[in-house]
Structure formats: C-alpha cells, structure tokens
Structure 1
Amino acid sequence: AAVSLVVWLQHALFDIGWGAALAAVVLSLALAVVASRVVGETGIPPIGAIGKVAQLGLGALAPGNVTTNLMGANVTGGAAGQCADLLNDLRTGALLGATPAYQIIAQCFGVLAGSLVGSAVYLILIPDPVAQLLTPEWPAPAVATWKAVAEVLAQGLHALPTGSVPAMALAAVTGITLATGEALLPRRMARWLPSGAALGLAFVIPAWIAISLFMGAMAAACLRLLAPNWAARFVLAIAAGLVAGESLAGIAGALASLLGA
C-alpha cells in the first residue's frame, strides 16, 4: 500500500513516469542498507550522498528530465534516511526496554504528527522558498548540490566536471577493496582498516563537520583511556547533548531572526 501510494503521488504531483517512480522506490530498498550501515558507524544519515546515487540512476532512466531526477531521488534519499533514523530509534528503545511492536505504532503516529508540524514550521520560516533559499541567510547547501546535479544530468554525463569519472572509479575501487579486506582478513587485522562508510561520508559533508567528528572521537578515546568508568557513564550523554543543543540553538536563532524581522 505504501509503495502504491508513493508511486501514485510521484506521478500525480510531479508528472513522473510510472517506471521511474517505481524505480525510485525499489532503489530506496538497496540504498537503505547503505544508509543504515553508515549511520551505524558514524551516526549521520548520508541523505545527500544517497540522493546523488539515486540521481545518477534516474538520470539514466529519464535523461534530460530535471523534475524526475530531482523529485525521484528525493523519494529515494528520504526513504533511505528515514530507515536509518528508525534504526536509531529502535536501538534507543531497546536500551530502555521498549517493545519493538509498540515502537512501530508510535512511529506511525510520529510520521503523521511530524509531517504536519514539520511542514507548518517550514512554511513559517521559509514562506517564499524561491526567493529565500540559496541566499546568505538560507544557503541550503544540500539543496544547492541536488539542484546542481540535476542540472548537470539533464545535459548528459558528458557535462560532468573534468576528472569526475576517474574520481568515481577510484572511489569505487577503494570501497570494494576495503569491504573485501574487512570480510576476508582476520579480525585482528581487519579492525585496523579504515571504515569505507566513514571515509566516503567525509568526502560529501562539509570539512568542519568531519574535523569536529574527528576531534570528538579523539577526545572520547582519550577519556576512555584516562577515566574509563567516568567515560562509560558520561561521554555518550555529553555527545548527545552537544548534537541536540547545536540543532536547537540553530532553530532558536532562526526564530529570533524571523521575529526580529
């Protein structure tokens, strides 16, 4: 039922072909596995990177169609990202002793409430997306990247910047090599291999985020060596508070600017 609804909405709202609409949903099943693995290792759902993979696939199915490329990939990236976030929720519930069945029911209510509240807040903060987005106040880097990829693919793969194809080939070989080594090498050796998921994520997120993640990981490792008992009790809680606090501070700043205007 969910697949049928999503496919129909793509066709009804954005005039996406039935085949491309179904492909976007099917592709999300495979990419959800990738997103879940990345979240398990880094805590960040790679929605942007997943969306680019979907854009390449849909670009081959509907060449030159910017709407299909952008909105179809949005379906795939959004579904994969939400799957990864759901695993975070289920893991948290497991730590607290919650029953998975009741968590799924709560998630269904959360989808309904979150979609309504999220849309309402978005319309309050950004009543005119055409004029507000991609400006210094609302730079929306992820939106800019998706838009740029859609425009390039509308012209064909020959419009890709020089060096992109060799870079993608090198990244593919690196990823396959790391995954093969992780699967075949003895565990004592495989644990020293770089994480392919974390390495790939570092190339598609802003540098300051990657550097912050590295510094936080190093600080946590040092604390575990110096004060293992204290670190076991407080490091995770402190890290979670910093992440949530930064997000809430950003929202508060945006609302303050809006009310001040």
Structure 2
Amino acid sequence: KKEGNAIPRNIIIAIIAVCVFAVIILAITTEITILEGILLIVGVYLTAYLSGMLTGQTGINPMEVFGILVLLGISAVMSPSLAAAFSIAGVVAVACGLTGDVMNDLKSGSMIGTRPRYQIIAEGIGGIIGAVVAAFALIVLHASMGFGTAELPAPQAAAVAAMAGGLDNPIAFAIGVAAGLLLFLLRVPSATFGLGVYLPTYISSAMAFGAVIMAIVKKAMKNKEKADNGAALISSGLLGGEGITGVIIAIFSMF
C-alpha cells in the first residue's frame, strides 16, 4: 500500500479506545457481558461493512437482518439473556442503519462538492439529536398504536423478536443462508429478495407496484437522468410524508 493510504496510528488507537469504552458501557448499562460485548463489536464491524456495501449496490439497508445474524452468531457460542439479545440486535441494527445513511450522505455530498469533514460533523450532531427524537417517536407510537398490531405490524421487529428466543427451525434458516450466498455469488440482490419474502404481502406488493410504475415511466421518458431524479424526489416525499403523518396521527390519538 502507499504511505498515503495507511491509517494513522493515532486514529487506530482512538478507534480501539472507543471500542473498549463501548464494551464497558454496554456491560454497565445492559445485561450484555464483557465477552458478549467484544463479540458484538466484532459483529458490528463486519456487518457495518456489509451494510455500506449493500446500501451502495441496492439502495436497501437490511439492518435488522444484520442484527439477527450477529445475535445468532453470539448465541451460538454464548447464552445471552433475553434482554441482552434484544440489546445486541438493537446495537447492530442502529450501527448498520447509521452506516448506510452516512454512505448515502457522503455520496450525495460528493456529487455536489461538499467537504466530507463537515459532513461527518453534521452526521455526529444529527445522530445524537436523532436518537432523542426517535426514542420519543417510538414511545408515542407504542402508546397510541402498539407494536405488532394491525395499525402498526412492525414486521422487522417481529422478526428480531422471533430470533431472540432461538431458532425454531435451524434447517430452514440454513437453507436461507445457503440460498443467499448462492444468489450473492450469482450477483443477484439476495437482500432485496429476502425482504420480499418476509415482509407482509401488502408491503412487498406495493414495492413491486412502485417498481413497475417507475419502469414504465423511465421507458416512456427520453431523459433517463431526469426520470431518476424525479423518482428520487417523489419517493423521498412519499416516505417522509407517511412517516411524519403517522407520528402526528399517533400524537393526536393519545389525547
């Protein structure tokens, strides 16, 4: 490697110090043991890499799936409590989610010429504020609708909850892992396929319907770049609008 590509020693020391601090904090504030915390940090490192790669390749970040995988890996060699299991899955999911968001933001910043240094600072501030706001939103949604209900089915949370108690059918899981590896080697987006399998039909069918509409629009328009930009704006508005509206409805339903 060239000298310019090497990671400075002080950065490596800082990363190790942060990891050690994280393990200690997890051991103090949760039921995760020191050894489980070390395995968790290793799992976060590996899955964060995969999360960034999949986000770049497909635009989809299956962060809760990575949480389940790390949880299963730790459960294979340790016996975490139920609370520790949920904590492990939550830490991995949040880390992978933040990784995917940062990758998208850095790509967007690169396209418009923003300095990465300022973006990282903004990401740090946004991460802290976002954690507080997200916690408030979850409390409101749980109090007004509840998770796992018809109003808020929360399929991702249900998948994590199902795995926290152990695998009911290890053979089926092994088949899924093997199929995922095969599809990945064949350069087929296995993560997208997996999402379609376990998400409720009305969600996956809506995704497929949106993809069909987008394909028709792109074929009809001559300017493909303009079609992509317009689709990104419309989809962002749909996602943001639904999320904001849902939280507002949940707040009003509490009174």
Residues in 2 aligned to 1:208 and 1:136: alpha-carbon distance in whole angstroms: 12
Give the 3 Å change call, closer, same or farther, for CA 34–209 of structure 1 in structure 2: farther
CA contact (8 A) 1:175 1:196 kept: yes
Q: What residue is the counterpart of 2:164 in the other structure?
A: 150
Residues in 1 aligned to 2:159 and 2:186: alpha-carbon distance in whole angstroms: 32
1:174 maps to 2:179: yes
Residues in 1 aligned to 2:249 and 2:231: alpha-carbon distance in whole angstroms: 27
Query: After the TM superposition, which segments of 4 or more aligned residues of structure 1 sit over 6 Å from their partners?
Result: none
**Structure 2 counterpart SS, 1:45:** coil
Counterpart AA for 1:172: V
1:214 maps to 2:208: yes
CA contact (8 A) 1:50 1:77 kept: yes
Structure 1 segment 173-252 matched on structure 2, within 5 A: 173-182=178-187, 194-229=188-223, 231-252=227-248
Q: What residue is the counterpart of 1:185 in the other structure?
A: none
Residues in 2 aligned to 1:233 and 1:120: alpha-carbon distance in whole angstroms: 32
CA contact (8 A) 2:36 2:74 kept: yes
Counterpart AA for 2:19: V
Runs of 5+ consecutive residues of structure 2 not aligned to the other structure: 1-16
Alpha-carbon displacement from aligned partner over 1:35-65 (angstroms, at most 9, x marks no partner): 2233234433212211111121121232262
1:55 maps to 2:71: yes
Give the 3 Å change call, closer, same or farther, for CA 123–171 of structure 1 in structure 2: closer
Length-normalised TM-score, structure 1: 0.79
Aligned residues: 237
How big is the shift at 1:19? Answer: 0.8
CA contact (8 A) 2:44 2:95 kept: yes
Moved more, 131-140 or 246-255: 131-140
CA contact (8 A) 2:71 2:89 kept: yes
Residues in 2 aligned to 1:2 and 1:199: alpha-carbon distance in whole angstroms: 36
Runs of 5+ consecutive residues of structure 1 not aligned to the other structure: 183-193
Structure 1 segment 97-116 matched on structure 2, within 5 A: 97-116=113-132
How big is the shift at 1:231? Answer: 1.8
- Aligned-residue Cα RMSD (Å) equals 2.6
Residues in 2 aligned to 1:102 and 1:228: alpha-carbon distance in whole angstroms: 37
Q: Equivalent pairs: percent with the same residue?
A: 27
